Structure 1
Amino acid sequence: MYRWPKVSYKEEGLREGMQIEDAHISVDDKVSLLDALSETGLEQIVVGSFVSPKWTPQMERIDEIVTKFNPKPGVTYTALALNSRGVERARAYSPPLTIERDSFPRLTCHMCDVFVRRNTNRSQMQEMERWPQIVAQAQELNIKEAGIGCNASWGSNFLGEFQVDSLMTLLEKEHNMWDEVGIKVASVAMGDPMSHCTPAKVEESLYRVKEKWPEIKHFRLHLHNGRNMAIASAYAAMRTLEPEDTLELDGTIGGFGGCPYCGNGRATGMAPTEDLLHMMEDMGIPTGVDIDKLIDCVWMAEGIMGRELFGHVSKAGPRPKHLEQLYDIDMPFVETLEQATHFKKGPQQYEGGIYPYQEPITSPYRDRVEKGQPNYDPANGDYPWKQDWFPSK
């Protein structure tokens, strides 16, 4: 049995999700969604961005959202701020906002020079030119531990695939700068704004980081899902890391979200929160999140957006494991997505569906389950079938 790393999760729907949606979505709708998310058990929620409304009009009314929502004790609310002006705007609302700071002063840059020019109007070299200042500030503050990182870590829609060797070379240059001033590197962050992550690339990257710098125990992954690899890549990360490691992940309810700079728009997406956390719970990693309430939030978001989102658990429901969750074995055909919501809304969703069976469906296996017995009981050699006709060993 695997022993998993400690996993920290952040919900990004109000930022990553809303930043690519219609700018006219009402403040009241966003506040209602934020309040509903607060009741799910999520511990970290990003409420939006303090950025220029000229380029991101979807965030123009972030101040109203922050003043209208109902903060829940125990939930950490943050907002993205890309510069000092944004930080000052956010600070005016702290509390309820927590002014998020990286746990470590971090050297980072984009592997893709084109993307960073499109996204931030600066070059990769200009990002690197800030490194000495970051190191000097850390020295002045007597910082003992620092971080390294990279964005567009595995590939670019404008430059193609990046080899892990190239990623490691860049991380090594950052690591060396901290080494030169005697500050320990304790954290690595890898981002993927253009959805080039794959399980193999993520696994190789983390393995090589741990092999080269075994003292690093803190990892952060920001994975986009435009090519449906985010959850598989997150799983690969959890498989690669160890119990003494900490892994930070994020995603959005329904998997919505996007970036106008990368060329994929709303197709960029992120890992659907409900799908990823459902998987983690099944792996034995406790999340403290009520998946049923998350599904309500997805449906609310779909109503606000006026379209279906990208997640799956919100459509098919969590895996039914207990008797009260199991489907009626004599149900009619279920064909539409609306009918499939019977897992939560009840059998009226498929009422009147096609029923092709001449006789009601029965099964000795279901009989066992309804009596509180296991469907199969190999430990005791107890099976519902008759074994007389099976060949003997």
Structure 2
Amino acid sequence: MSQVEIFEVGPRDGLQNEKRLIPAAEKIALVDVLSQAGFRRIEVTSFVPPKWVPQMADAAEVMAGITRRPGIRYAVLTPNLRGYQAARAAGADEVAIFASASEGFSRANLNASIAESLERLAPVAQAARADGIALRGYVSVVTDCPFEGKVAPASVARLAARLRDMGCYEISLGETLGQARPEAIDAMLAAVLDELPPESLAGHYHDTAGRALENIDASLARGLRVFDAAVGGLGGCPYAPGAAGNVATEKLAAHLALRGHATGLDMALIEQAAAMARTMKGAE
């Protein structure tokens, strides 16, 4: 039985797009349940300007409030050096930086070209390296862009290589729109795997069209063993209209178990967290 790690991103990537401003106490309670469920890494929040993502304005409060358990890395997203400094002050074990594989999405999401966004991220990468804080990279729109259509696999591979060279220990490949078919994921991975080994990659697949699990199967066949997911299927992207949530952690864990992969997760606690997540987004 092979091990597959699920990287829980619900508290950050899941909640960031919710319209109702969720109290910090609810976010803390969700992270505390997740901390007992067997995850090795949990993405808790993001230190971004509140005017961009009002839902994450309480990042420092949430980080201060969670009950940390040994053996878990508590990760946060940081778009710039100021965000990184706030994350470090809040005790983040890991920080993530993000860039887009298409120019159109980069301008909509970051108000910068891909090259400009990487220049902006360089000081974050340097600071993380100097401080000994783990750095993860996200690539968004790895197959389809809402502004440009199909994204060339070579563009994704180039960007993944740039993030690797900046010091990212792992690159999470984001299928942001949730529309890709497994053959598109396979073609994208074929290009990226020319630059990085599978153990340096993670899959981050939204489930808009209900194909996230098929895309994960295609990725497993290519050797990937880390996948991002959000309890309760939380999520969406404020800059990708119509994109539904991330693949649900509980759905992914059950799918992996059926295929003989161990995740080490406590499914009763996962279901409890998923019910909390659904309540937070008003689905129950």
TM-score range normalised by the length of the shorter chain: 0.7 to 0.9
Instruction: Let me know the Cα RMSD of the aligned residues.
Output: 3.5
Alpha-carbon shift at residue 11 of structure 1 (Å)? 0.6
Q: 1:236 maps to which residue?
A: 218
Equivalent position amino acid for 2:52 in 1:
W
Q: 1:218 maps to which residue?
A: 200
Q: How many residues align?
A: 278
Residue pairs, 1:81-120, within 5 angstroms: 81-94=78-91, 97-100=92-95, 109-120=99-110
Structure 2: gaps spanning 5 or more residues: 131-135
Deviations 1:265-321 (A, max 9, x none): xx421010011011112222211101121111111222233214xxxxxxxxxxxxx
Q: 2:234 maps to which residue?
A: 256
Q: Is 1:270 equivalent to 2:262 in the alignment?
A: no
Equivalent position amino acid for 2:11 in 1:
L
Q: Normalising by the residue count of structure 2, what TM-score does the alignment of the two structures yield?
A: 0.83
Equivalent position amino acid for 1:260 in 2:
P
Residue pairs, 1:284-363, within 5 angstroms: 284-308=260-284
CA distance, structure 2, for counterparts of residue 17 and residue 176 of structure 1: 26
Q: 2:51 maps to which residue?
A: 54
Larger Rg belongs to: 1
Instruction: Return the match for 2:179 from 196, 201, 220.
Output: 196
Q: 2:62 maps to which residue?
A: 65
CA distance, structure 1, for counterparts of residue 247 and residue 262 of structure 2: 18
Q: Which has the higher helix share?
A: 2
CA distance, structure 2, for counterparts of residue 32 and residue 85 of structure 1: 27
Q: Percent identity?
A: 28
Q: Which has the higher strand share?
A: 2
CA distance, structure 2, for counterparts of residue 148 and residue 65 of structure 1: 22
Relative to structure 1, the CA distance from residue 69 to residue 172 in structure 2 (aligned partners, 3 Å threshold; closer, same or farther) is: closer
CA distance, structure 2, for counterparts of residue 24 and residue 31 of structure 1: 14
Alpha-carbon shift at residue 100 of structure 1 (Å)? 2.7
CA distance, structure 2, for counterparts of residue 99 and residue 53 of structure 1: 21
Structure 1: gaps spanning 5 or more residues: 103-107, 142-146, 309-393
Instruction: Return the match for 2:259 from 280, 283, 305.
Output: 283
Report if the CA contact (8 A) 1:224-1:230 is conserved.
yes
Instruction: Return the match for 2:15 from 18, 30, 36.
Output: 18
CA distance, structure 1, for counterparts of residue 110 and residue 275 of structure 2: 33
Q: Normalising by the residue count of structure 1, what TM-score does the alignment of the two structures yield?
A: 0.61
Q: 1:362 maps to which residue?
A: none
Report if the CA contact (8 A) 2:33-2:273 is conserved.
yes
Alpha-carbon shift at residue 93 of structure 1 (Å)? 2.0
Report if the CA contact (8 A) 2:146-2:240 is conserved.
yes
Equivalent position amino acid for 1:237 in 2:
S
- The secondary structure found in structure 2 opposite 1:29 is helix
Equivalent position amino acid for 1:160 in 2:
G
